[in-house]
Structure 1
C-alpha cells in the first residue's frame, strides 16, 4: 500500500513538473514571438548606440533633444520606434556631411601650421551631439572653412607681399610686381580706369619718402585699392558711375578711411587733368572732412596727474631693470616666454619726452656702443650705472638721432630727454642693446616687439604695466597729444610766445589742426611738468652763466665768473705757455663781462622765459645747433661758434668733430707752407675756437662722450695738437 501510494504521488509530481515546463516553454515562445514582432518596428536602447555610432550617454541626450521616447518597456528594456531612429540616422548623415564640408576641427587647423593664437580669432560653431562621432568625436567646436580659406589666402598674400617688398629700389616697380603676383587685373570694360589709376599710383610712389616701413605700407595700400577698383569696374568705367553709386560703393563705413582718402584724391587728380570735371566731388562724401571731425571729437589725452603717475612709474629703475633682465633671461632659455619687457620700457620712456609717431620709435632707435665696463647682462645685473655712463648713452643716442626725419612728412625729428629721465633711459637702452647681442639678432634698431609691424601687443603691454594702476591703457597717439598739450600749456603760461607754433615745432606738423590740443596744468604741477618736457643738451660758458643767474647767484661779478683761461689751460696748458695768449684771453674775459651785464640788465621773469625758450630750441641762431640769447643776431659778421651770445647744443659737436680732422690737416699745411700771415691767423682762430667748444663739452659731458663725437680719444687729440706749430702768435682779438 505504502509503495503504491508513493508511486501515485511521484506520478502526480511528475505530471505537475511536466505541466510547468510546458507552461514555461509556451511563455518563452510567446516572449520570443513578441520580441520578434517588436524588432520589426522597434529597436532597443543598447542597439541605438551602434546605429548612430554614439556613446550610450550621448544617445540618451540626443533622444531627449529630439523628443523621441520609448514605446515599450519589456523586462526593463526600452524599445524605441525604428522609423524615428532611422530618420534620426538620416538627419545625422546629412548633418555630418554638412559639417565635414563646411567646417574644420582644431586638429585639422593645427595640421595646416595655423597657430593657436590665430585659431582663437576664428568664429566657432558648437558641434551638435548628434554628430560627435568619427573626426568630430572629441571636438567641442569647429571652425568655418571659409574663414580658414580667407586666413590662408591672407597669409599667402602677406607672404607674397613680404617677399616682394623685402628690398624696395623703385616703389612703382615693386607695386607692379605685387599686382602681377596677386593676380589683380582690371576688366576689358575699364581700360581708362586702369590707365589713369596706374598713372596716379606712379606719381604718388615716385614722390613717396620715408623709412622702409612707410614706403612698404604705401605700396600695399595702393595694391589693395587697385583690387577694390578692379572689382567695382568689372562692368564699366569708374567714371560711368553716378556720384550716388560711388558713395554707396566706395565712400561707406566698410571701406577703410585711408583708402577713401586716396580714392578721393585720385578723383580730384583726374578732374585736374581733364578739360572739365568727370566726377562731381561736391556730391561725394569727403573722407578728409569726416576724418577731421572724428579727430576733433576723439582727442583723448592723459590728465596731468596721470602723466606724473606714469612718469614716476617708468623712471623706477630698480623695478624695471630687474624685470627687463629677468625677461631677457627667459628669452635665452625659452623664446616663447619672452614678453619684450625691455622694448616696452624703452618705448614708453621715449614717449614721455617726444611727440613722435609710433613707427618712428619702432624703427629709428639705433644700435649703440656700450660703456667699457659693461660686457654682458650678468655684469650689468649687479652693476649700478654711473651718471657719467648714463649721460654717455643718452648723448650717444642723441647724436645718432640728429638727422632723423619724421616717417610721414620727412621733417626733422627733434629728440628730447629731460634730466630726470636720462638715468632710466640709459638703463633701458643698455638692456635692449645687450638683448639684441645675446639673441644674435641682426636688427639695426633697439626696440623689437618681434612682430611684423613691430607693435607693442597686449601681452607685452600687460606685462609691463602689471605693477601700475589697474585698467590703464597706454596709447602712442594719446601720449603724443598729452605731451604736446602739456608743452602747449607750459609755453602759454610761462611765455608770451604762440604755443601752437611751438608745439608744431615739437612734432613738426604741417598743419595747425593736428596740434590744437590743450591740457590745463594745475599751478602746483606746472614747474615740475615743465622740467620734464624740455631738453638740457646745451652747454658752454654762456649757458652755465645763464643758469647761475637764474638760480639766484645775483652777486656774481666779472671777477668771480669762471675764467676762460681755466678752459684754455685744459686745451693748451701742457702744450703752450698760457701767458703768450694773455691778449686773447683778456679779450674773451671782456666779452664775458658784457654777457654778465646783459643778464643783470634783465628781470628774472624775462630770463626764465628766455631759458625756457632756449631749452625748447626757440631762440634760433644763424648756424644749426646753436641758440642765440638775443633771439636775433646782432653780430652779423661773426660765426656762432665764435660769439659769446650763442649757446651750442651738443649736436654742434657733430659738425665740429666732422671738421676736426680736416681742420688739423689744413692747420699743418698752412703753417708749414703758406707765406701769408692772414691765412695763419684765420686757421689759428678757427682751430682755437673749435677746441674751446670741445673743452666746454668735455667739462659738461665727460671725455667718453667727447671721444665718441670726435671719433678719437681726447688724449690722442691733445697729442696731435701738441705736434702742431704754436698758434699763439697768430690768435687775434678779432673773432669773426
Structure 2
C-alpha cells in the first residue's frame, strides 16, 4: 500500500497493533507512536489557502447585491448560500456552527415583511446595521457546537449591507415555509448544484471549500495584523484563535500560514482586522505594542497628536468649554505618564487582552485599562473614565445616553445636576467624534445620523453649565 492512501483510521489500527505487540514482548519505546490526521497538503501554501486574487473574487461575488438579490428571492438555497459564504469571509465559524447557530432575524425592526419590498428597494446602511446589531446581541455568549467555546460575531462595515440583505431574504424564506433554521437548505451541506447556480464563475464554484476559506480568512487576517501593527505574530495568532473559538493556540496554528513582507502574499484589500475598538487610548496602546524601540520622541509625538485632536474637537467658541478641554488634556497626559515607563512586552500583552475581551469595563461593549482594579467604583457609567476603551457597539448605548442627558439638561433646575450632566455630555460628544474618525461617518450614521447628532449638540449647548476659567 502507498502510505498517502492509508486512512487515519487504518493508521490508528496499525499503531494499536504495534503497541499490543510491544506489550507482549515487554518493549519500551523512547518515542511514542502518534497518528496525525492532518493531510500532507496542509503544509503546502498553494493548496491550503486561496490566492489573494481568488479570495478577492469571492468577496466581489458576495458583494454583487444587484445580481444575487433576485436569485435569492426566487430560490431559498441561493439565499442560504449567500449568507453562508459571507460568514466565511467575515467570521471564522465552522460550517456546522454557521448552519446551526445563526439566529433567526426580527425583520419587523426594519419594516420588511415580504419579498416584494426588494423589487424597488435595497437596504440602507442604517437598516443593515440594525440587522447586524440584532444578530450580534443574539449571538453574544453563544457556544460553538463542536468544542463548546464562545462564538464571536462581527461584520465589517463593507459587508454589512450584503450580510443583512442575505439574512433578511433567508428569514423571509424560513417564515414562508415555517422552518426552524435560518439556513434550512444547507443542513446536508453546500451541494455542487447549488454552488453552480450561486457563483457566476465555475472556477469559484468548483474550488470552494469551507476549511480552505477559513484558512484563507485566518491567513489574511493574520497578515493584515502584521502589516498594520508591526511584527507581532503572537497578537495575530491569539486573535485568530479567539475568532475561531479554539481554546488552545496550538490548534489555531493549523489554520495559519507563514507570511512574509517580501511579496510572497499580497495584501488583501479589505480590512478584516477592524474589530471595532477605537479612541486615542487604544490607538496609543497598539502603536506602542508595535514599536521596535519606543522612545521619548515617539511619546512626545503622540502627546502632540492628542493635543491637536482636543483642539479640533471644540465645536463652538464657548468660553466655558476651555476649562473642560484643558482638564481632559491633562487627564489624557496622566494616563500616558502612567504607561510611559512600561516595556514593549507589556503593551503587547495589553493588546492581546483587549482583543480577547479579557479586560471588560463595568459598562458593556468596552474594555478597561486597569481591569479588574476599578479606580472609580462609585460610577455607574464608564464613558467618561480615562481608562475606558470603547468598542463600536458602545454607540448603541451612547445614543440613548446622549438623548437622556440632553433632555435632563434642558429640564433640570439644579446647577449641581446640570454641571454633572454637562461634563458627561461633552465626554459622549468626544466619544462620537473619535468614532467618526476611526469608523467613518457612514458607519456611525447607522447608529445616529450626523444631522441628528449635530441637532442635539446645538440644542443642548445653551443649557451646558461648566465652570469658566
| Fold shared per TM-score above 0.5 | yes
Q: Is 2:343 the partner of 1:343? A: no
For residue 690 of structure 1, the aligned residue among 428, 436, 447 is 428
Q: Is 2:56 the partner of 1:312? A: yes
SS at match of 2:304: coil
Counterpart residue number, 1:539: 278
For residue 649 of structure 1, the aligned residue among 380, 391, 399 is 391
For residue 190 of structure 2, the aligned residue among 440, 456, 467 is 456
Counterpart residue number, 1:429: 164
Larger Rg, first or second structure (1 or 2)? 1
RMSD (CA atoms)? 5.5
Task: For 1:611 and 1:415, locate their aligned partners in 2 and report how far apart those are by CA, in whole Å.
Answer: 22
Task: For 2:441 and 2:270, locate their aligned partners in 1 and report how far apart those are by CA, in whole Å.
Answer: 27
Q: Confirm or deny: 8 A CA contact 1:485 1:519 kept in the other structure.
A: yes
Structure 1 unaligned blocks of 5 or more: 1-252, 254-292, 332-337
For residue 313 of structure 2, the aligned residue among 545, 553, 567 is 567
Q: Confirm or deny: 8 A CA contact 1:317 1:427 kept in the other structure.
A: no
SS at match of 2:203: coil
Relative distance call for 1:313 and 1:346 in structure 2 (3 A) is farther
Q: CA deviation at 1:664?
A: 5.4
Relative distance call for 1:462 and 1:608 in structure 2 (3 A) is farther
1:129-140 to 2 correspondences below 5 Å = none
Task: For 1:326 and 1:475, locate their aligned partners in 2 and report how far apart those are by CA, in whole Å.
Answer: 25
Task: For 2:179 and 2:366, locate their aligned partners in 1 and report how far apart those are by CA, in whole Å.
Answer: 30
Number of aligned residues = 409
Q: Confirm or deny: 8 A CA contact 1:449 1:455 kept in the other structure.
A: no
Counterpart residue number, 1:474: 208
Q: Confirm or deny: 8 A CA contact 1:707 1:713 kept in the other structure.
A: yes
Task: For 2:188 and 2:133, locate their aligned partners in 1 and report how far apart those are by CA, in whole Å.
Answer: 22
For residue 327 of structure 1, the aligned residue among 49, 71, 87 is 71
Counterpart residue number, 2:294: none
Q: CA deviation at 1:356?
A: 1.6
Relative distance call for 1:709 and 1:642 in structure 2 (3 A) is same
Relative distance call for 1:354 and 1:327 in structure 2 (3 A) is same
Q: CA deviation at 1:354?
A: 1.5
Q: Confirm or deny: 8 A CA contact 1:396 1:708 kept in the other structure.
A: no
Alpha-carbon deviations, 1:625-672, whole Å to 9, x = none?
A: 3346x6868983387523455431111123334555655566677x33
SS at match of 1:647: strand
Task: For 2:194 and 2:68, locate their aligned partners in 1 and report how far apart those are by CA, in whole Å.
Answer: 11
Q: TM-score with structure 2 length normalisation?
A: 0.63
Relative distance call for 1:345 and 1:460 in structure 2 (3 A) is same
Relative distance call for 1:357 and 1:560 in structure 2 (3 A) is closer
Counterpart residue number, 2:132: 397
For residue 586 of structure 1, the aligned residue among 306, 326, 336 is 326
Q: Confirm or deny: 8 A CA contact 1:449 1:456 kept in the other structure.
A: no
Q: Confirm or deny: 8 A CA contact 1:366 1:444 kept in the other structure.
A: no
Pick 1 or 2: higher relative contact order, CA cutoff 8 A, min separation 6: 2
Q: Confirm or deny: 8 A CA contact 1:413 1:508 kept in the other structure.
A: yes
Task: For 1:610 and 1:468, locate their aligned partners in 2 and report how far apart those are by CA, in whole Å.
Answer: 45
Alpha-carbon deviations, 1:74-126, whole Å to 9, x = none?
A: xxxxxxxxxxxxxxxxxxxxxxxxxxxxxxxxxxxxxxxxxxxxxxxxxxxxx
1:104-115 to 2 correspondences below 5 Å = none
SS at match of 2:153: coil
Relative distance call for 1:446 and 1:722 in structure 2 (3 A) is farther
Relative distance call for 1:344 and 1:657 in structure 2 (3 A) is same
Task: For 1:442 and 1:541, locate their aligned partners in 2 and report how far apart those are by CA, in whole Å.
Answer: 49
Task: For 1:579 and 1:530, locate their aligned partners in 2 and report how far apart those are by CA, in whole Å.
Answer: 45
1:204-603 to 2 correspondences below 5 Å = 296-297=37-38, 303=47, 305-306=49-50, 308-316=52-60, 320-328=64-72, 331=74, 338=75, 340-362=77-99, 363-364=102-103, 366=105, 376-379=117-120, 393=128, 397-398=132-133, 400-404=135-139, 405-408=142-145, 412-417=150-155, 422-424=157-159, 426-430=161-165, 433=168, 441=176, 448=183, 450=185, 453=187, 455-465=189-199, 467-469=201-203, 472-477=206-211, 479-480=213-214, 483=217, 494-495=231-232, 497=234, 501-510=238-247, 515=252, 517-523=254-260, 524-525=263-264, 528=267, 532-542=271-281, 558=304, 561-564=307-310, 566-569=312-315, 573=316, 578-592=318-332
Task: For 1:472 and 1:294, locate their aligned partners in 2 and report how far apart those are by CA, in whole Å.
Answer: 30
Alpha-carbon deviations, 1:685-714, whole Å to 9, x = none?
A: 33432343234335555677556546x996
Structure 2 unaligned blocks of 5 or more: 1-8, 10-33, 292-296
Relative distance call for 1:411 and 1:431 in structure 2 (3 A) is closer
Q: CA deviation at 1:457?
A: 3.1
